[in-house]
Copies of this chain bind each other. A is one copy, B any other.
């Protein structure tokens, strides 16, 4: 298994020697859906590069409400945790395998060596940071200033891309947006009234994606 590097845009250009270090000193690991990959009091000792599956990173409030901060998809890395990894600090956020996950685990010592040896690797890491931080800024903007109907429509469009139906409860949608279940129920009811979606327990179908996209701002 040496060709997983090809799946990572920023790594494919690494010199042979560096790639060898990466391949030889990392290992491919698996986690089942639902597994908590990192969280309060559980900082990972590895930088993960996702080969398959997605990791959902979310935060829980004192009152139990949750919000999804971002997702790590196949071909991306769990890079924000490296700050914690090298700095020994802990985040209040939690990373959970949303599906069964296959990933390359790079030990912190190897990560540190690569940061020292390879400008391309540094670029890869900072690029990944950049993307995540941009995500966080977007979340702050949406939560602070966005309307819930717009945000919900956008999320439905994103979740439903390429799918005939979406499997999700109202509670799960509420967690996506950091709001309450009742708020989602009411919005969904309104979308249904307008004929934009149809739903049954646990699943929903987007019957008018154009209208949803329009509300979401294209």
Which residues of A line the B interface, CB within 8 A? 59, 61-63, 65, 67, 69, 80, 82-87, 89, 91-93, 112, 115-117, 119, 122-123, 126-127, 129-131, 133-134, 136-141, 143-145, 178
Contact = CB atoms under 8 A, between A and B. Distances in A.
A137 B93 contact: yes
Given A61-B145, A63-B145, A91 B126 contact: no
A84 B129 CA distance: 9
B91 A134 contact: yes
Copies of this protein, total: 2
Nearest to A119: B112
A50 to B, nearest CB: 19
Contact of A139 (B115, B140, B178): B140
A18 to B, nearest CB: 13
